[in-house]
Structure 1
Amino acid sequence: KLNLMKKFLLFLILLNTLLINAQKKVIKLQNHLVNKELAKLEIDKDLKNASISFYAIDTKTGEIIAELNPNMSMVPASTQKLFTTATVLELSGTEYRYKTKIQYSGKIDKTTKILYGNIYIKGGGDPTLGSKYFYKGRQFDFIKHAITEIKKAGINSIKGRVIADASIYSYEIASPKWLWEEVGNYYAIAANGLTVHDNLYEVHFKSPYQEGKPTKISKIKPYIPGLKFYNETFSANTRNTSKTYIYGAPYTYTRFIRGSVPKGKSSYIKGAIPDPAYYLAWRFQQELDSSGIKCTKKANTIRLLELNNDTIKDKRITLKTIYSPKIIDIINKTNKNSNNLFAEHLLSQIGYIKYKEGSLQSGTKAIFNFWKLKGMDIDGLHLSDGSGLSRLNAISAKQFVFLLNYMKTRSKYFSHFYNSLPVAGKSGTLRSIGKNTIIVGNVHAKSGLVARVRAYAGYVKTKSGRELAFSVNISNHNCSSWEIKKKITALMLAMAALDI
C-alpha cells in the first residue's frame, strides 16, 4: 500500500509538471496581440536604455498570457500603494475608524468654571482630520465642535494649555529614503499620530510680467506660526509651478523655495507643515481664545515636552471622540487620488496592528511578512515607504500579479479592493487613459509615476471574456512622460482586445 501511494504521488507530480510545461509551450507559440506589442517595445529606439518588465495571467485559470522580464525588481512608484492598501484591508477589514480624543486633566472648579489642568488632543493616527478630501470648506469645524463640548463640561477658563499627543505613531515624519528635493513638499509627508489639514499649507506668489525677475510671497495659507522663507524663485515663461520646490526638514521652521513661477500671474505651491501636532495645538488654543476661553500657558506637544524631560502623566478624562470615515473610504481616496499622506498613514497603521508600533519600519516589515506567509516569492522585494515615493523601493511584476491574483481569488474583500482602483477613461489617475477606446471601463489599475519611471498594475477584461491581472513597468526611457504613457496604453489596448 505504501509503495502504491508513493507511485501515485509521483504520478501526480509528474502530471502537474507536464501540464505546466505544456501550458508554457502553448503560450510561447501564441503570436497574439499582447506578445506583438511587447515585441514592439523591445525594439523601440526610445527604450534602448530602458528596463521593461511585464507579466499578465488569467485570474481564473492561472494561465500566463505574456511575460517579459517578470522577475526584474523595478522602482514601482505609486503602484506600491497596492501593497499598502491590500495589506491594511486584509488586516483591518473595511469598517475600522480612527479615533481622535479631546481630553482634559486636572480639576474643574464648578463655581468659577476654571479648569486647573490641560486640554489634550490625543491622536489616533487619523489622516483625514480636517482633510479637504472629506471635509472641504469645513476643515476646522471639528475644533468648533470640540470647544462646544469643553463649554458643556463647565470650562470657561484654563489654568494650563492645549497639549497635542501624537505618540501613537513614530515621530519620524519623513522617510530617510526620500530625496532632499522632495522633503518639505506636500507630497512627501509621512504619517503623524496627529495629522491635520492634510499636513499642508500653501505659499502664494505674485510674479512680475518681466521674465527672470524675483517673485514675492503674497500669503501663507493657513498661517503657520514661526515659519520663515528664503524665496529664491523667479518669473519665467512657464505654465505652472511644477519645477518649484520647498526645501526644509521636519520640525524646523526655515524653508528655502527654489524654482520658476509663471510670469505675470498669481500662483501657489504646497508645502508640508513642519510639525502638524504643534500646529493643531496652537490652532486649537487660538480658537479657544477667540471663543472666550483663555489659557495661561503656551500650546505644546508631548514630543516637545519629552525633549525637555518634562514628562506629564496626568490622568485624562475624555470629553469627545472624533471618528474618521471608514478605512475603506480612506483606501478609495488613496488609490484613486494616489494620496501619499493617506498611504503613509495606512502603512503605520499596519505596523501598529501587527506590532503595536506605528512606524515606517514596522509597517514595511509587516507587509513583507504578510505576503511571504501567503506564499509570495519575496526575493527582490524591497519596501522603504507606503506611498512609493522612495527610489529604493523595488517590486517585480510577478510580485504585483501574485498580490492581484490573491485579492481576486482568495480575499473576501476583493470587491472593495477592486472598486478602489482608478478606472480607465472614467476615474482617478486613469481618467485620461484610453478615451473612446475598448479599455474605457475595462481596465481597473493603479498608476505610478516618478522621474523616468512609468508603471501600471491592475486588472483588464478582455474581448474574449477573460479577466487578466497584469503589471507593467518601464524605467529610464528616452522619451517624454506623455509618449511612454501612449506606448503603455497601446499594451493595455492589446490586452483588452485579446480574443483567445
Structure 2
Amino acid sequence: MLPLFFDAQISTVVESWKADKDLKSATLSFCVIDTKTGEIVAELNSHQYVIPASTQKVITTGAALGTLGAGYRYSTKIYHTGTFSKETGVINGDIIIYGTGDPTLQSENFTKDTNQVTDKWAQVLKEKGVKEIKGKIIGDASFFDRSIPGNWIWADINNYFGVAPCGLSYNDNKFKIIYTSKEAGSKATVEKTIPAYCNSTICINSNVIAKGTEDDAFVYGDPFSYTKEVAGKIPPNKSNFEVEAALPDPALLCAEKFSNSLKKAGIKYNSKLIESNYKKSDSTITKQLLHSHWSPSLDRIIFYTNLKSNNHYCETILRSVGRGSMYLGIDAVKNYWQKKGLDVSELFMVDGSGLSRANTVTTNFQASLLNKIYNDSSLYKIFNASLPVAGKSGSMSNIGKGKLIENNMRAKTGYINRARGYCGYVKSKSGKDLAFSVLFNNYNCSAKDAKVKIEKFLVELGEL
C-alpha cells in the first residue's frame, strides 16, 4: 500500500488502515478531485485496478444519459399479422407484443396498484373493435440477445439480483417462492409461486431449513429453465415468507398476462396458442400496428437504477446503449468516456451493473468520470439526483448520521463478496464540491466491518 499524497485531515484514517490487520493483504484505493479546479485533493493507489462492484453503475448510467438522453423512452408495440376485419372484429393472424427492452413493464418501482399494464392494452384493442384473435399471441423479445454475462457466478444468476435482461421484460423478470417455516431446524415448505404461468409449471426442488434471522436462501440452476434448486436458510415460524428468483421466460409471462386481459375484455383467443420468441423474426412478414406503449423516461429509470442498485435495470440500459447487444453496449460506454477525455485503459468492463468480479477499474477513472459529469450541465442535475443521500436514502441511509456528510454527500455504493466501495460527491466543510471514489478489495473481515472502516474516511471527506 503506497500512498501518493493525501490531505492531513484524512491521514489519520489512512494510517489506521495501514495498521489494521484486517487490511494487511487488502487492496485499498481512493481518489478525491476538486470539481472546480479539476485538481486531485487526495489519492491512494488511485491507478491500481480494483473491483468496483455496484459502483460500476455510475459508468453505465452516466454514459447512457450522455448517449440516449434523459428523455429516452422504450417502446412496446402490439402488432397483428394477417388481416383485421372491422366489420366482424376478427383478426385472422397473430398478435405480436414486440419489446425493445423496457424494464418497467409491471415493475414494482413503477406499478403502484395490482392492475396489469396488459389490461390497458386489451382495452385499446377492444376500443379498436377487436373481438376475436384466430392466431397466436406472441411475446417477442428478439430485440435483445438472450444471454447473461459469462462472468456472473452460479450463486447469482437465478436470484432476483442476477436476473437476465430481456427484450420483453415483465414483472422485473422475477417471481416469488412462498414458504412456510416452523420450528428451528425443520425443513421449510414451499406453498406456491407468484406469478404462475398458465401453461407451464415452475418446479421447485427445495432444501431450505428454518434457522437464523435473515433470508439466507439462494436459488440455483439454469436461469432459463423451469426447474429451480433452492437451498439455505430462512427464519423459523414464518408464513408467506418470500424468496425471489429469476423468471425463466419473461416474454411468455407477458404474453400470458395479455391473454388474461383479453379474456377480461371479452376478446376471444385460443389459450393453447400463446408463446414467446427470442429469435429475429422474418422481416418480410407484414405487420400492422395496433398500439404503442411508452415507458417512463430514462432519467426516472436511472433514478431507481442507482438509488436501489437495480442490476436488471442497469444491464437493460447497457444493452439499450448497444442496440440490443451487451458487447456493443460495453464498447459504446467505453467509447463515450474516451471521447470525454478519460483514459479507458483504466476500465475493464464485462457487464454494466458490476455484479461480476471480473470488472476492474481505477478510482482515478471513477473520480475523473464524476468530475466530468459534474461539469456537464446536461448531465449533472439528473445524475446527481439518482445517487443515494448520506443519512437519508437508499444504501447510504445509515452512513454519516449526525455528521457533516449527512445530507451533504451523495454516493453510489457497491458490494459483492470481499469488495466494497463508494463513489459520488460531497460538499465539504470548506465549501468545496468534491468528486470521490474509494474501493476496498480482499479485506479479511466482514462486509459490515469493512463498511465501518470506509465510513470513517467518508466522514473525514466532509471535513476537508
What do residues 114-151 of structure 1 show as CA deviations (whole Å, max 9, x unaligned)?
211111111021111111101122451x2111111111
The answer to whether the aligner puts 1:278 opposite 2:244 as a matched pair is no
CA change 1:326–1:460 in 2 (3 A) is same
Tell me the secondary structure at the aligned position of residue 214 of structure 1.
coil
CA change 1:228–1:312 in 2 (3 A) is farther
- Preserved CA contact (<8 Å) 2:395 2:413: yes
Aligned-partner residue type, residue 444 of structure 1: R
The answer to whether the aligner puts 1:350 opposite 2:321 as a matched pair is yes
Tell me the secondary structure at the aligned position of residue 328 of structure 2.
helix
Question: How big is the shift at 1:160?
Answer: 0.8
Instruction: Report the counterpart of residue 469 of structure 1 in structure 2.
Output: 435
The answer to whether the aligner puts 1:260 opposite 2:238 as a matched pair is no
Tell me the secondary structure at the aligned position of residue 464 of structure 1.
coil
Query: 4+ residue stretches of structure 1 with deviation over 6 A?
Result: none
- Preserved CA contact (<8 Å) 1:246 1:257: yes
Instruction: Report the counterpart of residue 46 of structure 1 in structure 2.
Output: 22
Question: How big is the shift at 1:312?
Answer: 8.0
Instruction: Report the counterpart of residue 345 of structure 2 in structure 1.
Output: 379
User: Residue 322 of structure 1 is aligned with which of 293, 301, 322?
Assistant: 293
Distance in 2 (alpha carbons) for counterparts of 1:465 and 1:412: 23
Instruction: Report the counterpart of residue 136 of structure 1 in structure 2.
Output: 112
Greater percentage in helix: 1
Tell me the secondary structure at the aligned position of residue 423 of structure 1.
coil
Question: How big is the shift at 1:31?
Answer: 5.7
Instruction: Report the counterpart of residue 359 of structure 2 in structure 1.
Output: 393
Who wins on radius of gyration, i.e. which is larger? Answer: 1
Aligned-partner residue type, residue 397 of structure 2: R
- Preserved CA contact (<8 Å) 1:177 1:392: yes
Q: TM-score, normalised by structure 2?
A: 0.95
Distance in 2 (alpha carbons) for counterparts of 1:154 and 1:393: 52
User: Residue 187 of structure 1 is aligned with which of 152, 161, 168?
Assistant: 161
Tell me the secondary structure at the aligned position of residue 278 of structure 2.
helix
The answer to whether the aligner puts 1:163 opposite 2:151 as a matched pair is no
Instruction: Report the counterpart of residue 67 of structure 1 in structure 2.
Output: 43
User: Residue 432 of structure 1 is aligned with which of 398, 401, 406?
Assistant: 398
The answer to whether the aligner puts 1:245 opposite 2:218 as a matched pair is yes
Distance in 2 (alpha carbons) for counterparts of 1:190 and 1:230: 21
- Preserved CA contact (<8 Å) 1:131 1:139: no
- Preserved CA contact (<8 Å) 2:132 2:269: yes
Distance in 1 (alpha carbons) for counterparts of 2:283 and 2:328: 27
Question: How big is the shift at 1:290?
Answer: 4.0
User: Residue 127 of structure 2 is aligned with which of 142, 152, 159?
Assistant: 152
Tell me the secondary structure at the aligned position of residue 28 of structure 2.
strand
- Preserved CA contact (<8 Å) 2:138 2:274: yes
User: Residue 127 of structure 1 is aligned with which of 98, 103, 106?
Assistant: 103
- Preserved CA contact (<8 Å) 1:90 1:411: no
The answer to whether the aligner puts 1:100 opposite 2:76 as a matched pair is yes
What do residues 155-184 of structure 1 show as CA deviations (whole Å, max 9, x unaligned)?
211111211111221122x22110011111
The answer to whether the aligner puts 1:115 opposite 2:88 as a matched pair is no
Greater shift, 286-295 or 471-480, is seen at: 286-295
The answer to whether the aligner puts 1:227 opposite 2:202 as a matched pair is yes
Over the aligned positions, Cα root-mean-square deviation in angstroms equals 1.8
| Number of matched pairs | 458
Tell me the secondary structure at the aligned position of residue 381 of structure 2.
helix
- Preserved CA contact (<8 Å) 2:123 2:265: no
Q: TM-score, normalised by structure 1?
A: 0.88
Question: How big is the shift at 1:316?
Answer: 1.6
Distance in 2 (alpha carbons) for counterparts of 1:31 and 1:377: 25
Distance in 1 (alpha carbons) for counterparts of 2:333 and 2:90: 48
Instruction: Report the counterpart of residue 487 of structure 1 in structure 2.
Output: 453
User: Residue 327 of structure 2 is aligned with which of 331, 338, 361?
Assistant: 361
Aligned-partner residue type, residue 137 of structure 2: V
Tell me the secondary structure at the aligned position of residue 431 of structure 2.
coil
Aligned-partner residue type, residue 473 of structure 1: L
Equivalent runs, 1:294-305 vs 2, <5 Å: 294-296=268-270, 297-303=272-278
Greater shift, 85-94 or 477-486, is seen at: 477-486
What do residues 83-140 of structure 1 show as CA deviations (whole Å, max 9, x unaligned)?
0110000112211111111221222234432211111111021111111101122451
Tell me the secondary structure at the aligned position of residue 50 of structure 2.
coil
- Preserved CA contact (<8 Å) 1:452 1:477: yes
Aligned-partner residue type, residue 231 of structure 1: S
Aligned-partner residue type, residue 221 of structure 1: I
Tell me the secondary structure at the aligned position of residue 160 of structure 2.
coil
Distance in 2 (alpha carbons) for counterparts of 1:291 and 1:195: 23
- Preserved CA contact (<8 Å) 1:35 1:66: no
Instruction: Report the counterpart of residue 172 of structure 2 in structure 1.
Output: 198
Distance in 1 (alpha carbons) for counterparts of 2:101 and 2:446: 38
- Preserved CA contact (<8 Å) 2:164 2:173: no
Distance in 1 (alpha carbons) for counterparts of 2:388 and 2:187: 40
CA change 1:116–1:462 in 2 (3 A) is same
CA change 1:393–1:421 in 2 (3 A) is same
Question: How big is the shift at 1:287?
Answer: 2.8
- Preserved CA contact (<8 Å) 1:132 1:139: no
CA change 1:311–1:370 in 2 (3 A) is closer
Instruction: Report the counterpart of residue 22 of structure 1 in structure 2.
Output: none
CA change 1:388–1:436 in 2 (3 A) is same
Distance in 2 (alpha carbons) for counterparts of 1:447 and 1:428: 9
Q: Which runs of 5+ in 1 are unaligned?
A: 1-26, 353-357
- Preserved CA contact (<8 Å) 2:33 2:368: no
Tell me the secondary structure at the aligned position of residue 353 of structure 2.
coil
The answer to whether the aligner puts 1:406 opposite 2:372 as a matched pair is yes
What do residues 34-93 of structure 1 show as CA deviations (whole Å, max 9, x unaligned)?
222112212212211211011112111222221111011111010000001100001122
Distance in 2 (alpha carbons) for counterparts of 1:291 and 1:207: 40
Aligned-partner residue type, residue 345 of structure 1: T
Question: How big is the shift at 1:380?
Answer: 3.9
Question: How big is the shift at 1:411?
Answer: 4.9
Distance in 2 (alpha carbons) for counterparts of 1:389 and 1:31: 32
* Identity percentage of aligned residues: 37
Instruction: Report the counterpart of residue 332 of structure 1 in structure 2.
Output: 303
Q: Which runs of 5+ in 2 are unaligned?
A: none
